[in-house]
Amino acid sequence: MPNPDYAGNAGLSSPRCLRHNVTLTAPNGPLLVLLHGFGTDQTVWRKVLPSLEPHFQILRLDLAGAGPNGPASFDPARYDHIESHADDLLLILDELGIDQCLFAGASVGSMIGMVAAIEHPRLFRKLIFIGASPRYLNDTGYIGGFEQQDLDQIYEAMSNDYQGWISGFAPLAVRGLPDSAPVKEFSESLFALRPDIALSSARTIFQSDFRRQLPLVQPPVVLLQTQNDIAVPDAVGQYLKSHIRTATLEVLPVEGHFPHLAAPEVVSESLLRHLH
Amino acid sequence: MHTNSPQDNAVVLSDLLELLTAALRADGILVSAGSSSGEPDVLASVPAGLVGRRLPLSTGLLATCGLGVHTTTDLLLPSAMTGWLGFRPAFVASLKIDLPESEGCLFAWWKNQPAEDTLIASLLTNATRLVADLGSRETEAVALSYMKDRFDAVLDNVSLGIAFVNLLRGSRLNDVAADILGIPVATTDTAAVVAAMQRVRAACTIETEEGVPAALSANASNASTAEYWIDPARNLVLRVESHPVSSEKTPGRFWVFTDVKPLWDSNEKVKSSNDVLQRNIALLAEEMERRIEAEAQLREFNLGLRQKNEELEIAKLESDLIANQDSLTGLANRRRFRRGLEEMITSAHRKGDRVAVVYLDLDRFKTVNDILGHERGDQLLRTVADTLTQVLRKDDLIARLGGDEFGCAMTLRSDSTLTQVTALVQQLGQRLNIPVESPDQIIHVSASIGIALYPDDAEDAVHLLRAADNAMYLGKRHGGNEVIVFTRRNDSVSAN
C-alpha cells in the first residue's frame, strides 16, 4: 500500500522540521521513525539504513541539541525534561500529517518514543527499544547501574575536560578498542556536540525516571538488549519487560550500548524480523 | 512599596488553583503564560511539579479555549501531562487569561467526564478573579500583611473554633477548629482545610435553620450560612456559621464552630443558639471593624486598590451575565427566559394581568447555514435579535431559546386585547421576512410564530411555552411564515 506523500507536503520545510533536520527516504513501505540517543544524531543509523530502505519509508530527525542545528535548536530551560523531546517528535509527525508509524529508538530515543506513545497511543503501531533504560540511578529494589556519586563524577569529568572524558567514555560505551571504527565514530559524534549541551543533556537523561509511566504503554514493544551494556544492566531489561504489559525481550548477541554502530547487520536483521 | 518575587506569586496562585481544583472536582489545573504561538511557561499547576516548565501547546488544544469541557481524544497534549498526572486526562476545559504582558491560559483536566452544569460558570468566576489577582499583586500583598496581624490576635484569644479560609493566601486555624476538623493547627493549605471540613461534615447529620442558607450550598457563596453538625459517634453538636469576608479583595470566609451540645440536649436549641449567634456576631463585628480600619489606612497609600475591586466586581457581574445570556445575540438564554417567565406569571396572577408567550422559529435558516456557512447564519440570528428588540417593548422578555428558536414574553394589562397582541406579532412576522442573497438564488427567510396566553391556555411557564411551541409547529406545517394563536380546543386559529 503506497504511503501518502508525506515528503511532498509543505511540512518538511516547516521551521520545526528544518530545525530538526527531518529527512524522509523513498516511500517503499510503512513509515518507520528511527530516533537516535545521547551523543549522536540521525547519521548514527547510517549503517542499518540500506537494509531497511527497501521495506519502509524511513523518517529520521536530529533531537534538539544534536546535529548541525544543535546549538540553534537547544534551549536548556526547555530541554531539562525528556518530555520536551517527545513533544517535538509528536509535533513533527503532526505537521507531516502522519497518523500511523512504526518506531525504533536507541537509548534515550526509546524513552522519548515511549513518552510520545503514551501521549498518542494510536499513532504508534509498534515500538522497538534498543538499549533502553527507564532510570539509570539505583533505587530501593531497582538496579539502574549507577550511584549518584558515579554520575556526579561523570558530570565533573565532562565539565573539566570534555575531550578527555570522551576518550575514556566512548570505548566503554561502544565496548570496542579505542582505535576501532565504531568507537571513533561515536567519539567524533560526541566531539561535535557543544560541551555545555552535552553536559546538560547528560544530566537530563541520567537523572530521569520513567518507571511510573511504564504501565501506561499500549502499543506492542520489543526490547532489544545487548550484553555488557555500560549504561543498561541486564536487570533493567527484565524490569522493563515485567512493567510494560506489551513488551517482549530479545537479547542480541552483541556487546555495548551502540549495537547499531558496532554490529549493524545484527540490528538490521532484528528490526526487519520484528517490524514485518 | 511591597513587591513580590515570582516565586511568591507561584505560591499564592497555587493556593487559589488548589481550591479551584477542589471546586471543579478536577484532577489537575495548570496556568500557562507566554505567547500562544511559541512555547509558554507554566506559571502554576496543581498538583505542583510543572511550574517553570515550557510546554508546547498544540493549536488543537488552544482552540478548545472557552469551549467548555472538551474531550482530549483528538488533541495533541504536551507529553509532560501524563507523567505529571499519572494518567492521560480525557477531558479539558480551558480559558484565556489576559496577563499584563503576555497571553495566558488556564487548563483544568479530568480523568473522567466531569459534571458540566455549574462547573463552567464557576470556572469563569474563579478564573476572572485570578486575573484580577495577578493584575494587582502588589497592593494585595500589603493588604494581606495587615490582615494577618489583626487576625492572629483574634484567633488566639477566643474559645470558639475559628477557621479563616482564604483562597489566595492560605488558611489559618485556631486550636479549637483544628481539634474539631482533626487536622494540625499549623495547616495552611486551603485545599486541606476545605477537604477536612467536607470530611467532618459528611460524617455528621446536618440540620439547617429556616431562612438561613446551608453551608456549601450553591447560593451560599456570598451569604452568611449557619447549620448544625451532629455526630453522635463523636458526641458532637456543632453550630457552624460561615461569613464571607467581602470587603476584602481576596475571596475568603470566616468559619465559626461552636459546641452547643449541652444546650442541644436540654432542648433549648433555638433560644440558646441565638445567644451563641449573637455572641459570635459580636466578635466578628469587632473583627470587621478592625479590618475596616486597616483598610482605611491602606487606601491612603494604595489608590489602585479601589479600582481593582471594581474590576473584580465587574468580572463577577460579567460571569453572572454569561450564565444567563446567549453569547451570540446578547439576548437572554433559555434558562433566564424560563425564570423570567415564571416571575411574570407570578406577578400577573397577583395583579390579574395576562401573559402572552410568543414562540418563534425561523424558516429556511438551515438553508442559509448550509449554503452560506455558519458565519452568515450567525449574522442572521443577530439581525433577528435586533429586530425583536426594536419591535417589542422594553419590558418584554426576549430570549434565544437555542438554534434558530426565539421566545418572547409580554405582560398584558387587563385592558389590552388579544387583537392588539396579534397585530404586534404580525408586524413582527412581516419584519422577519428577510431575503438573504446567495450566489445563485435569494433565500426567503421568514418566521413561524406561535402565541399562547396565561391563564387562558396554560397555568404555568412550562405548559405555556409548550402551548406556544405547539402553535408555532402548526404554522410550520402550513409552510411557515405564519402566526398561529393557540386555542384550548387544540386546533389553532390562524391569524395570518
The one-letter code for the residue type at B61 is: L
First CA to last CA distance, chain B: 72
Shortest Cα–Cα distance, A14 to chain B (Å): 14
Does B441 contact chain A (CB < 8 Å)?
no
Q: How many helices, marked H, and strands, marked E, lie in chain B? A: 15, 18
Q: Are A223 and A237 in contact (CB under 8 A)?
A: yes
Taking alpha carbons only, the member of A55, A54, A68, A53 closest to residue A22 is A68
Does B327 contact chain A (CB < 8 Å)?
no
Contacting residues of A for B76, CB less than 8 Å apart: 90-91, 94, 119-120
Return the CATH number of B6-132+302-323, one of 3.10.20.70, 3.40.47.10, 3.40.640.10, 3.30.450.40: 3.30.450.40
Q: Given A77, A115, A212, which is nearest B79 (Cβ)?
A: A115
Contacting residues of A for B59, CB less than 8 Å apart: none
Q: Are A30 and A38 in contact (CB under 8 A)?
A: no
Within chain A, strands assigned E span: 23-24, 31-35, 57-60, 101-106, 124-130, 221-227, 247-255
Measured CA to CA in angstroms, residue B367 lies from B371, B374, B383, B428, B435 at distances of 6, 10, 16, 22, 12
CATH superfamily, domain at A10-275: Alpha/Beta hydrolase fold, catalytic domain (3.40.50.1820)
Contacting residues of A for B87, CB less than 8 Å apart: 216
CA distance B167 to B193: 11
Q: Domain B334-494's class?
A: alpha beta
Q: Which residue of A lies nearest to B42 if distances are taken between CA atoms?
A: A78
Shortest Cα–Cα distance, A124 to chain B (Å): 14
List residues of A with catalytic annotation: 107, 229, 257
Q: Which residue of A lies nearest to B73 if distances are taken between CA atoms?
A: A120
The one-letter code for the residue type at B184 is: P
Q: Which residue of A lies nearest to B78 if distances are taken between CA atoms?
A: A87
Does A216 contact chain B (CB < 8 Å)?
yes
Q: Given B78, B86, B87, which is nearest A87 (Cβ)?
A: B78
Q: Are B53 and A204 in contact (CB under 8 A)?
A: no
Q: 96-125 in A: which are within 8 Å (CB) of B?
A: 115-116, 118-120
Would you call B379 helix, strand, or coil by DSSP? helix
Q: Given B53, B82, B86, which is nearest A81 (Cβ)?
A: B53
Does B82 contact chain A (CB < 8 Å)?
yes
Give pLDDT tens digits for B458-489.
Answer: 888 888 988 898 888 888 887 777 788 876 54
Does A212 contact chain B (CB < 8 Å)?
yes
CATH fold match for the domains B6-132+302-323 and B146-292: yes
Contacting residues of B for A94, CB less than 8 Å apart: 58, 76
Q: Are B326 and B399 in contact (CB under 8 A)?
A: yes
CATH of domain B146-292: 3.30.450
Give pLDDT tens digits for A190-222.
Answer: 998 888 889 889 999 999 999 988 999 999 999
Q: Given A90, A94, A212, which is nearest B79 (Cβ)?
A: A90
pLDDT score recorded for residue B139: 34
**B6-24 vs B117-135: helix crossing angle, rounded to 10:** 170
Q: Given A81, A119, A216, which is nearest B77 (Cβ)?
A: A119
Q: Given B39, B87, B88, which is nearest A78 (Cβ)?
A: B39
Q: Are B120 and B68 in contact (CB under 8 A)?
A: yes
In chain B, domain spans: 6-132+302-323, 146-292, 334-494
Q: Does the beta-carbon distance from A119 to B82 stay under 8 Å? A: yes
In chain A, domain spans: 10-275
Q: Which residue of A lies nearest to B82 if distances are taken between CA atoms?
A: A119
Q: Does the beta-carbon distance from A84 to B54 stay under 8 Å? A: yes
Q: Tell me the pairing of strands B172-173 and B354-363.
A: unpaired
CB pairs under 8 A between A and B: 51
Shortest Cα–Cα distance, B375 to chain A (Å): 28
For an interface test with B, give the residue of A83, A212, A214 to mutate (most B CBs within 10 A). A83
Per-residue pLDDT of chain B (496 residues; tens, 9 = 90+): 333 333 344 345 656 666 667 666 778 888 887 765 567 878 778 787 787 778 888 888 888 887 778 899 888 898 888 888 888 899 998 877 766 566 778 888 988 887 655 555 555 555 555 554 554 443 344 344 444 444 444 445 455 677 777 666 567 777 888 888 999 888 878 788 888 988 898 888 888 766 666 665 544 556 667 788 888 888 888 878 777 654 444 556 777 787 776 656 655 444 444 454 455 545 554 554 455 455 445 444 344 445 555 555 555 555 555 567 777 888 888 878 888 899 899 999 988 899 999 999 999 998 998 889 888 999 999 999 999 988 888 788 999 988 899 999 999 887 777 788 888 899 999 999 999 988 888 999 999 999 999 888 888 888 898 889 888 888 888 777 778 887 654 444 444 4
Does A78 contact chain B (CB < 8 Å)?
yes
